[in-house]
Amino acid sequence: MREYLLTLCITAAVTYLLTGPVRKFAIVAGAMPEIRARDVHREPTPRLGGIAMFFGLCAGLLVADHLTNLNQVFETSNEPRALLSGAALIWLIGVLDDKFEIDALIKLGGQMIAAGVMVVQGLTILWLPIPGVGSVALTPWQGTLLTVALVVITINAVNFVDGLDGLAAGMVCIAATAFFLYAYRIWYSYGIEAAAPATLFSAILMGMCLGFLPHNMHPARIFMGDSGSMLIGLVLAAGAISVTGQVDPDALNLYVGSEKEAVHQTVPVYIPLLLPLTIIAVPAADLILAIVRRTWRGQSPFAADRGHLHHRLLEIGHSHSRAVLIMYFWSALIAFGALAYSVNSASMWIVLGVVFLSAIGLLLLLLPRFTPRAPRWMERFVPPRYRRRGSVAVAEPAVPSSADAPAQASGAAREADARIPHGSTALSELEKAAAPAGFRAHERERA
């Protein structure tokens, strides 16, 4: 565990330290697109945050290669090299899109090529653990098609949800944390070395997201762009492919008694292949709804709009920060609910806990204008909007009396008249808009 934590910290530190220089580079390179109709930010913000995340990925893999225990992953498996090759290709496509905004079909082709590169180097699905049946071996073509489909779907699911400050990085970090705990349990509890690459990928992905989040929280100073969203989507898919398609359920027979029970233990990882990922079920649902919505309207599935889940949360009255936290809540509930189910699927308390937390989540959705108040002893540690009224004295601006208003208005008018050039009879529209209210009333009386 210490080596995984060290790898995570190194990845997070490199990503965090490089994001500032990358932001300056993005500004100089002109990777600051104008505000679009579907955007929720109010001023141009630089992209290319994926550059820092990619170098964080490289640093994490480099450190892991020189550690005593994690070095075995590189010696016994070609999956880290396959991940790096696919990540480099998808990152390069994302950088070009952040700068030049390439066509959506070209990006889709690049995603398929990146997935194919990983398949050629051995990162592919060999069999499927089907509940009640057992492990079903796949032909090379079946494994290749399923692997490419999973990579493409996961990349676009993460890319679609990247619409609010800190949303994509936080949700992927939550998913990676749940996936790390599951893969680590298979690796160290059952002693199955085939789960080691997935554990490493999840730890590095957590570091990438945690290192980038401080720069990306609302209000964001930099966006990850497609170079970042497609990159973390590919790394997350690589972990799911590794632990699902490489870990043989027969290896669990020694620990759980039978093949069917072993397959039952891998259900939380098998289900992501169909949804495609329960650990990012919220982005996946957003992806499916977006495709259906745009196709129903006769638009291209890749046409951007303001119908995503986070846009709808803003429309019903949630603030930017609350919309992000609600999406975090649902992602964590689904991801860690699946993790708890994999540990003890017979416990009714897990089901009751998920139902209770789901009810709380629905309550938060239905109360967009409800603002929780912190206890008085915590008010000095929380933002002002969470403090009780009267806790912090706020100086109110003095309101002039009705007797003083005409004098102030006439004084403002005299000051404005003094600024008018000699011989001028009217002000420009810009000057009128900038003039005090009293002077505008004076102008109306003169007219």
Binding residues: 159, 226
Distance CA 284, CA 157 (A): 5
Please give the helix or strand (H or E) that residue 172 lies within, else none: helix 167-184
Distance CA 268, CA 273 (A): 10
Distance CA 159, CA 162 (A): 5
Find out whether 157 and 228 touch, Cβ atoms under 8 Å.
no
E runs forming strands in 122-256: 127-130, 134-137
Distance CA 179, CA 269 (A): 9
Distance CA 185, CA 179 (A): 10
Q: Which amino acid is at 133?
A: V
Instruction: Give me the half-sphere count of Cα atoms (radius 13 Å) on the Cβ side of residue 123.
Output: 31
Distance CA 163, CA 159 (A): 8
Q: Which residues are documented as binding site for Mg(2+)?
A: 159, 226
For 276, list phi and psi in degrees, rounded to 5. Answer: -90, -20
Question: Other C-beta atoms within 10 Å of 309: how many?
Answer: 20
Which of these, 115, 138, 337, lies nearest to 246 by C-alpha position?
138
Distance CA 99, CA 76 (A): 39
Q: Which two tokens stand for residue 400?
A: 């002039």
Which of these, 28, 301, 362, 21, lies nearest to 157 by C-alpha position?
301
Q: What SS3 state is found at 128?
A: strand
Find out whether 165 and 219 touch, Cβ atoms under 8 Å.
yes
- Residue 64 pairs with which residues in a beta bridge? none
Distance CA 51, CA 184 (A): 28
Find out whether 33 and 229 touch, Cβ atoms under 8 Å.
no
For 154, list phi and psi in degrees, rounded to 5. Answer: -65, -40
For 165, list phi and psi in degrees, rounded to 5. Answer: -60, 125
Q: Which two tokens stand for residue 182?
A: 């599951």
Give the CA angle between residues 81, 82, 84 to the nearest 5°.
Answer: 65
